């Protein structure tokens, strides 16, 4: 039987920071504003200057902005403005707490399939987390890869990205020039329909809370991982299309091996599959 877990992201990040520090990493929190590839220097908003021989960029949805700051062409990655909502139980129904309720997903056409709209109605849920200090108001539900697509200064869409919009599973294809923070009623109404049909013990009439967040979608919904075709000293990873967190330690291993020239046969197969060069940049 498949097994899935709810992980507390802040705890995971704290553990990864601790492990990196213990291994000798210096952690500097600042914004990179320019990458001078001639001088091989990273410049930050706070005035920091860091020289490099090889540079790894993992800037998530901001990848094209950072590549542009390095004078490099962007990748065909489109950022979508996703949403999760939290719902509580109806009176008398169980509370779907994480010690009894599993991670649960439902889709009309599989993880990467296409449904009747040419998109895919795929919903994921995580149980009500009762851990102290975690602000969880109920069962969290996301309408996967269905947020409005963005094309802003921060989340730049390359010409290859614009040409690839039709390949995305998103039902709404227009590119929006502003990120939204308010409730996305389109996605909320789809979640309400889903909950009424599939999780009727949850109260679909009123959400307890909602959150807007970002996915980095690629035309084939696979990540991009490897050396930049225009400058092999720049290694980058992005385009996780809504499922990158679970792979983070493995991706870090591959990136480190690439810089170190110690790529194993298995890592080489991974790099081949996710090579940035599969797209026209």
Site residues (vs ligand FAD, CB under 6 A):
31-32, 58-62, 66, 82, 84, 142, 213-214, 238, 240, 242-246
Q: For residues 119 and 240, which CB has a smaller minimum distance to ligand FAD in the complex?
A: 240
Helix (H) / strand (E) element for 195: namely: helix 185-198
User: Is residue 261 a contact partner of residue 210, using CB atoms and an 8 Å limit?
Assistant: no
Nearer to ligand FAD, 183 or 213 (CB): 213
* Closest separation in Å from C-beta 238 to ligand FAD: 5
Which C-beta is closer to ligand FAD: that of 35 or that of 195? 35
Considering the complex, state which of residue 66 and residue 271 has its C-beta at the smaller distance from ligand FAD.
Answer: 66
The residue assigned the tokens 């009439």 is 205
Q: What angle do CA 258, 264, 268 make, to 5 degrees?
A: 70
Instruction: Report whether 107 contacts 146 (CB < 8 A).
Output: no
Q: What crossing angle do the helices spanning 248-260 and 265-273 adopt, rounded to 10°?
A: 110
Minimal distance in Å, beta carbon 91 to ligand FAD?
Answer: 28
Task: Kindly give, in sequence order, each residue whose CB lies less than 8 Å from that of residue 259, ignoring residues fewer than 6 positions away.
Answer: 54, 56, 235
The full length of the chain comes to 281
Please state the closest distance from residue 100 (CB atom) to ligand FAD, in A: 19
Place of tokens 């269905």: 146
Smallest gap from Cβ 237 to ligand FAD, in A, equals 7
Identity of the residue, 145 or 195, whose beta carbon is nearer to ligand FAD in the bound complex: 145
User: Helix, strand, or coil here: 202?
Assistant: strand
State the CB neighbour count (10 A cutoff) for residue 192. 19
Q: Which is nearer to ligand FAD, 91 or 181 (CB)?
A: 181
Work out how close the CB of 99 gets to ligand FAD at its nearest, in angstroms, rounded to a whole number: 19
Distance CA 201, CA 198 (A): 9
Phi-psi category of 100—alpha, beta or left, where left has phi over 0 and alpha has psi -120 to 50? alpha
Q: What is the smallest separation between the CB atom of 146 and ligand FAD, expressed in angstroms?
A: 12
Q: Which is closer to ligand FAD, CB of 82 or CB of 88?
A: 82
Name the burial class of residue 202, with classes exposed (0-12), middle (13-18) and buried (19+) by CB atoms within 10 angstroms of its CB. buried
- For residue 226, the minimal CB distance to ligand FAD (Å) is 14
Q: How far apart are CA 200 and CA 105, in angstroms?
A: 15
């Amino acid at each position: 039987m498949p097994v899935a877990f709810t992980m507390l992201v802040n705890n995971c990040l704290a553990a990864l920071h601790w492990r990196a520090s213990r291994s000798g990493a210096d952690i500097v929190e600042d914004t990179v504003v320019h990458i001078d590839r001639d001088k091989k220097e990273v410049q930050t908003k706070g005035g920091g200057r860091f020289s490099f021989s090889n540079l790894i960029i993992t800037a998530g949805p901001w990848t094209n902005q950072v590549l542009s700051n390095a004078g490099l062409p962007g990748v065909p990655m489109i950022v979508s403005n996703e949403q999760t909502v939290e719902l509580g139980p109806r009176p008398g129904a169980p509370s779907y707490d994480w010690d009894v309720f599993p991670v649960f997903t439902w889709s009309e056409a599989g993880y990467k399939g296409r449904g009747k709209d040419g998109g895919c109605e795929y919903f994921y849920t995580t149980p009500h987390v009762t851990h102290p200090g975690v602000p969880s108001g109920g069962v969290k539900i996301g309408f996967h890869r269905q947020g409005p697509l963005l094309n802003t200064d921060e989340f730049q869409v390359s010409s290859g990205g614009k040409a690839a919009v039709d390949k995305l599973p998103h039902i709404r294809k227009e590119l929006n020039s502003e990120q939204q923070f308010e409730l996305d009623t389109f996605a909320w109404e789809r979640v309400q329909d889903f909950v009424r049909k599939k999780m009727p013990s949850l109260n679909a009439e009123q959400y307890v809370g909602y959150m807007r967040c970002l996915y980095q979608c690629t035309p084939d919904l696979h990540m991009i991982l490897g050396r930049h075709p225009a400058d092999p000293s720049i290694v980058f990873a992005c385009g996780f299309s809504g499922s990158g967190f679970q792979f983070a330690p493995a991706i870090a291993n591959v990136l480190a091996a690439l810089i170190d020239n110690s790529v194993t046969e298995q890592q080489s197969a991974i790099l081949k599959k996710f090579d940035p060069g599969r797209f026209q940049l």
